[in-house]
Amino acid sequence: NEQVPYDKSLDNSLALMQEGYQFIGNRVERYQSDLFEARLLGQRVICMRGKEAAELFYDSERFQRNGAAPKRIQKTLFGENAIQTMDGDPHIHRKLLFMSLMTPPQQKVLANLVMDLWHHSFRDIAMNNEIVLFEEAKKVLCTAACKWAGVPLNELEAEERADDFYSMVDAFGAIGPRHWKGRRARPKTEEWIQGIIEDVRSGRLETAKGSAIHEMAFHKELDGKELDARMAAVELINVLRPIVAIATFITFAALAIHENKGCKEKLQSGDRKYLEMFVQEVRRFYPFGPFLGARVRNDFIWNQAEFEEGMLVLLDIYGTNHDPTIWEKPDEFRPERFLDWQGDLFELIPQGGGDPAKGHRCPGEGITIEVMKTSVEFLVNNLEYEVPGQNLTYSLVRMPTLPESGFIMKSITLK
Ligand code: HEM
């Protein structure tokens, strides 16, 4: 790989921990190249960013996911041997199951539940109470997700389950206590959900056809067999956990409303197009998933770089969403940039790129967008609040990140 910039550090693992979301972007700028080679965790890795890189990354002839996600991610964020690690026909078959649960009408059902629960959670709020929006959002979303999916959850349980779901997300970029918290939350949550799957299968719990729990419990693999109960639990958690994680984007949306003059008024005007653009800009602008990994299937050369069989390749999510060749003034928050955006499948990739039915792109984008819209509407139309002094900065090193204070609100009234 002579033409390809090579980061000569012995191993970049430490730099990755120190530079977080900007690790790939910093080097892309330094080497003036959308692609470079480095060493991470003792192996050779190609890192890349941008639209062409994303197109390449989603070519499933060239890349596979099996063997790409480290065990530490599977033991926290994904679950072991789940959809994220599958390839080929078995992957597509599993993926269509996920997609069948998330059609536009089902997105609406969930969004309506979320709106009701927002009202419920602020109904009895005392004027002088301070609320941390992120914490409230996790509870609302956990309750809505379980109800929507058909998973029984009592009100007293919601906070603890919500924390467990989020701990699995929070663990992915961490070492030490934060990693281990997610590592404990996973088996605990899997046992809970597995028990419910078993109740559904034995008829102890009745479920509606079409609900996530029902379809997951009775899904048949290509060989005609049901998933084992643990795997069904892992995959149902792959529906519930990321719904709870939308709390991160809702918190960032509140920050965007707070920090950008004029946004709130435009959102209050009821202009649906502006609401859509605002939500897209929140998903583009604020950091959440940093990058994705896949392994090279067979040797090939692309843009003079030698991709060797088995090599790990990282696609920069944050960097592509902030790539100046795609986005004018990428570091400005400007919803209007989406006015005549064509919806390209490889430019805006907070939840992956390409066609979700054919590759690994997130099946939950529709849900995420609808839930964000509803929550933003609630914040600007149904709630009055003040934002007291607090630390609203967010780290670009901690992964995943969040405004430091979680967005504290006070003097709240429900309209
Ligand atoms: C995959 C991000 C919400 C379910 C992914 C991927 C990303 C992502 C980056 C990986 C794409 C790839 O590997 O190529 C997000 C973000 C969300 C979100 C930032 C907002 C909080 C959701 C929701 C659901 C969901 C609401 C389900 C209700 C999944 C599943 C996969 C996935 C099942 C695996 C797909 C596969 O491997 O084929 N998501 N997601 N996500 N997401 Fe999401």
**Residue 302 has which token pair?**
């692309």
Segment 154-165, tens digit of pLDDT: 999 999 999 999
Segment 262-275, tens digit of pLDDT: 999 999 999 999 99
* C-alpha 361 to ligand 1 mean position (Å): 7
Segment 363-412, tens digit of pLDDT: 999 999 999 999 999 999 999 999 999 999 999 999 999 999 999 999 99
* C-alpha 239 to ligand 1 mean position (Å): 9
85 CA closest ligand 1 atom index? 37
- Residue of the nearest CA to atom 39 in ligand 1? 362
Mutate to test the pocket of ligand 1, among 65, 292, 349, 362 (most ligand atoms within 8 A of CB): 362
Ligand 1, pocket residues at CB < 6 Å: 83-84, 95, 98, 238-239, 242-243, 245-246, 249, 288-289, 292, 350-352, 360-364, 367-368
Mutate to test the pocket of ligand 1, among 351, 358, 361, 373 (most ligand atoms within 8 A of CB): 351
Q: Could you tell me the pLDDT band of residue 175, with boundaries at 50, 70 and 90?
A: confident
Complex-level ipTM: 0.99
Quote the pLDDT of residue 270: 94
How confident is the model over 278-305, as a mean pLDDT? Answer: 97
71 pLDDT more than 60: yes
312 pLDDT more than 60: yes
**What ranges in 308-406 are assigned the alpha helix state H?**
317-321, 365-377
Percentage above 70 pLDDT, the chain: 100
Inter-residue contact 292 to 315 (CB < 8 Å): yes
* C-alpha 368 to ligand 1 mean position (Å): 9
**Residue 157 has which token pair?**
């349980």
**Residue 27 has which token pair?**
């080097």
* C-alpha 319 to ligand 1 mean position (Å): 18
Question: Cα separation of 48 and 59, whole Å?
Answer: 14
Quote the pLDDT of residue 2: 60
Question: Cα separation of 217 and 203, whole Å?
Answer: 11
Quote the pLDDT of residue 10: 76
Q: With the CA atoms of 70, 317, 287 and 325 taken in that order, what torsion angle do they form, in degrees rounded to the nearest 10?
A: 160
- Residue of the nearest CA to atom 22 in ligand 1? 364
Question: Cα separation of 98 and 105, whole Å?
Answer: 15
* C-alpha 364 to ligand 1 mean position (Å): 6
Segment 9-52, tens digit of pLDDT: 778 888 888 999 999 999 999 999 999 999 998 899 999 999 99
- Residue of the nearest CA to atom 4 in ligand 1? 364
Question: Cα separation of 407 and 258, whole Å?
Answer: 10
Burial letters 348-374, b for 16+ CB under 10 A, else e: bbbbbbbebeebbbbbbbbbbbbbbbb
Inter-residue contact 390 to 259 (CB < 8 Å): no
Question: Cα separation of 167 and 183, whole Å?
Answer: 8
Question: Cα separation of 73 and 264, whole Å?
Answer: 38
Of 4-18, 27-41, 172-186, 240-254, the one with minimum mean pLDDT is 4-18
Can you tell me whether residue 28 is helix, strand or coil?
helix
Q: Alpha carbon of 123 to those of 118, 158, 284, 382, 411: distances in Å?
A: 8, 17, 32, 11, 14
1 pLDDT more than 60: no
